[in-house]
Amino acid sequence: MRVTLRTRIGAWEIESLPGEKILRAALRQGVELPYECATGTCGTCKARLTAGRAESAWPDAPGGRHCGAGELLTCQSVALDDCALEVDHLRPAEAGTPRPATLKGTLRHPCRLTHDVISFDVELESRLVFAAGQFVLIEAPQIDGARAYSIAGFGRDGAQLTLLAKRKPGGRFGEWLFGRGVEGAPLTVFGPLGRAVFDRTIRKNLLCLAGGTGIAGMVSILRRAAAEGHFARFDAHLFFGVRAEWDAFYLEELTAIRRRHPRRISITVALSNEEVPRSLIDAYPELNFGRGLVHEVASPHMQGRFSDLRAYVAGPRPMVDASVRLLLREGRLPAQEIRRDRFD
């Protein structure tokens, strides 16, 4: 189908394949329609249908509350005929990030990290080039809809990605991942996506605020920063929030990251629901521990350290909003230095 995309300043024509979401068709052809979560929850991708027919594959998507009559979410909608859509403006991707594409992959090495967090690898048909902090959309057989996962790690020069997933009550994808027989399952991957990225031109200290599986992108960012020699001149502060000790994971990986630059990188694990057990402190001497929500634990530590800062925030929505408040009010960070991933 031919889809015409209009903004205030111009129009572009793209092709969309049968059943292909309009947002993905646009992004892979270089037309940077606005988006944030790309999975139907945030409403950022809202567009007005001005000609032809398109329909949402998920009419009940939460982001649809932002849509009025004649409007739809491009991340969920498919062109039924040639059609035309209007958005206010395009949103250029971060400079240097590659154009996303669809790839086939195979699920490998599912590994439970906690009672509700699982890590798994995606072996891709070809390597994916991506910027640290970006995410991909994953689709699995028999499960409707894509899920977004930040890339936590990679192997084989980008032909294998490591992702982290949380099992949520009633969540079909998480239930499937935690079940039997997922090793070897075919997956469809679309990406890379997202603007919460690190690149070597950033000349600032880094602050990473992560809740739960939001740690995935932060691990990529800190490893990439270390590899690029960022810590010769700059510092990083990571605050990783989980509810209790039995929810914690990746502590060995975080220790390894800190070991590379112990004077430059500080990593604090925040437990929101219980006092920090002595055994945890003793087991991980290179990590700090604190009691409270991520932003509560970060605030005293970051006093006087907010200048020349690039901040990354990822996690559940209330955690992200509370962290962004801290950054805007106490930190007085400009909005463009706050990069966030919100999963709902």
Partner 1 sequence: MSINERMRVVCAGADGCHDRRLAGSTEAPPSEVRWKRLGVAGDVPPHGMKAFSLDGLTVLVVDLGNELVAVQSLCPHEAIPLELGVVEGPTLTCLEHMWQFDVRSGAPLGEATEGLQTFSLRNVDGDLYVAVE
Which residues of the chain form contacts with partner 1 (CB under 8 A)?
Answer: 36, 42-44, 46, 66, 88-89, 321, 324-325, 328-329, 332, 334-336, 338, 340
What is the C-alpha to C-alpha distance for residues 164 and 113, in angstroms, rounded to an integer? 9
Select 29 or 299, whichever has its Cβ closest to partner 1. Answer: 299
Question: Which residues make Cβ contacts (< 8 Å) with residue 10, sequence separation at least 6?
Answer: none
- Would you state the structure tokens that stand for residue 232, as one six-digit string? 């010769």
Q: How far is the CB of 34 from partner 1 (least distance, A)?
A: 9
15: number of Cβ within 10 Å:
12
Select 264 or 340, whichever has its Cβ closest to partner 1. Answer: 340
Q: How far is the CB of 233 from partner 1 (least distance, A)?
A: 27
Select 264 or 342, whichever has its Cβ closest to partner 1. Answer: 342
- The amino acid at 341: D
Q: How far is the CB of 140 from partner 1 (least distance, A)?
A: 29
Q: How far is the CB of 326 from partner 1 (least distance, A)?
A: 9
- Would you state the structure tokens that stand for residue 126, as one six-digit string? 């070809």
Query: Is there a contact between 107 and 121 (Cβ–Cβ < 8 Å)?
Result: yes
Query: Is there a contact between 48 and 37 (Cβ–Cβ < 8 Å)?
Result: no
Q: Which residue has the tokens 């009010």?
A: 329
What is the C-alpha to C-alpha distance for residues 293 and 41, in angstroms, rounded to an integer? 24
Query: Is there a contact between 173 and 165 (Cβ–Cβ < 8 Å)?
Result: yes
Select 90 or 101, whichever has its Cβ closest to partner 1. Answer: 90
- The amino acid at 2: R
Select 66 or 224, whichever has its Cβ closest to partner 1. Answer: 66
Select 66 or 108, whichever has its Cβ closest to partner 1. Answer: 66
Q: How far is the CB of 31 from partner 1 (least distance, A)?
A: 18
Select 72 or 338, whichever has its Cβ closest to partner 1. Answer: 338
Q: How far is the CB of 343 from partner 1 (least distance, A)?
A: 15
Select 99 or 332, whichever has its Cβ closest to partner 1. Answer: 332
Q: How far is the CB of 189 from partner 1 (least distance, A)?
A: 26
Q: Which residue has the tokens 């001497």?
A: 285
Backbone angles phi, psi at 227, to 5 degrees: -65, -30
Q: Which residue has the tokens 């960070």?
A: 333
Q: Which residue has the tokens 């993905």?
A: 24
User: In which region does residue 60 sit, left (phi positive, over 0), alpha (psi from -120 to 50) or beta (all else)?
Assistant: alpha
Q: How far is the CB of 250 from partner 1 (least distance, A)?
A: 27
- The amino acid at 272: S
